[in-house]
Amino acid sequence: MSYDTLPMPLGAFQGNAGALDDFRIHSPSELQSLLKQLQDSNTLLHLSTPDGVTYTTTLWAVDAARGVVCFSVDSNDPHVERLLEGDEAVAVGYVDNIKVQFDVGGLVLVHNNRSAALNAAFPREIYRFQRRGSFRVRPLAGSLPVAVVPTPEASGGRMELRVMDVSLTGVALFLPDDAPSLEPGASLEHVSLQLDADTRFSVTLKLHHVSALHPESKGARLGCELDSLGGESARALQRYIDQTQKRRRMMALDG
């Protein structure tokens, strides 16, 4: 599968800063968690400058305390020198088919006798862009959407997991530390997805990813694919996603 490695042109959103809110991550703990995920998975990151210089690398270190991220580089590559000559660059990579993008500033080449690295300032925000067909929305503040998962290990034969975000093809659920553990590859059948009073349906979830969150959250993120979603349920889900997007944009304009 090929991906677009060029940065998303944020200038297209000028005049409506609130339009970017659904894509922006700026919480320090979330920033660190996502950067560590990029580092631990050795995700390829494409550094690009406005004048067309590109260099593909990986994150070597993430140091929030010092306010530094560190990229692996070959100091003999001419593209590295051209990166250093520019005043700005943007890093682009992919996590679970989601385009991740953040500004890279304050580039400094550091090296010793054995290796070299490119230090940059810790990003103040990261953007996550998704294709229209899998665009994810976060529930609005004050709403309490849940997925009711049947399980003999839980009290009463079921457990309610909070919905963190949802798209037409998948849903992310919050699994508390004290809940029964679930392993990637599991198929969760007869799950009742309850997003609001008008959007409730039964679905099978295929668990693809279990991601650790920052320690304060006291839980993990479950990345699930929606399976066996009927036509009426799919239409109800599309309405929910559209309405949530509209309400979030209205709230941003009112603010």
Which CATH number goes with the domain that contains 43?
Answer: 2.30.110.10
- Determine, yes or no, domain membership for 113: yes
Which residues constitute the domain of residue 26? 10-129
- Determine, yes or no, domain membership for 211: yes
Q: Are residues 116 and 140 in the same domain?
A: no
Residue ending a domain, choose from 107, 129, 151: 129
Q: Are residues 53 and 152 in the same domain?
A: no
**So what's the pLDDT on residue 187?**
93
pLDDT by 10s per residue, the chain, length 255: 345 667 776 665 555 455 566 678 888 888 998 999 999 988 899 999 988 888 999 999 999 999 999 999 988 888 888 888 877 899 998 886 678 999 999 999 998 777 889 999 999 999 887 654 556 788 887 788 999 999 765 456 889 999 999 988 889 999 999 888 888 889 999 999 999 988 999 999 999 888 877 777 788 889 899 987 877 888 888 888 888 877 876 776 665
- Determine, yes or no, domain membership for 3: no
**So what's the pLDDT on residue 168?**
81
- Determine, yes or no, domain membership for 121: yes
- Determine, yes or no, domain membership for 207: yes
For residues 243, 248, 249 and 253, what is the CA-based torsion angle, rounded to 10 degrees?
Answer: 140
- Determine, yes or no, domain membership for 4: no
Q: Are residues 98 and 16 in the same domain?
A: yes
Q: Which residues, in sequence order, are CB contacts of 197 under 8 Å at separation 6+?
A: none
Q: Are residues 147 and 193 in the same domain?
A: yes
Structure tokens at 215: 């320690």
Are the C-beta atoms of 20 and 10 separated by less than 8 Å?
Answer: yes
The closest of 79, 83, 69 to 39, measured between CA atoms, is: 69
The closest of 223, 247, 246, 28 to 141, measured between CA atoms, is: 247
Q: Are residues 164 and 250 in the same domain?
A: yes
- What's the Cα-to-Cα distance from 163 to each of 34, 92, 144, 160, 196, rounded to whole Å? 19, 27, 8, 9, 11
- Number of domains the chain contains: 2
**So what's the pLDDT on residue 126?**
93
- pTM of the full structure: 0.52
Which CATH number goes with the domain that contains 144?
Answer: 2.40.10.220
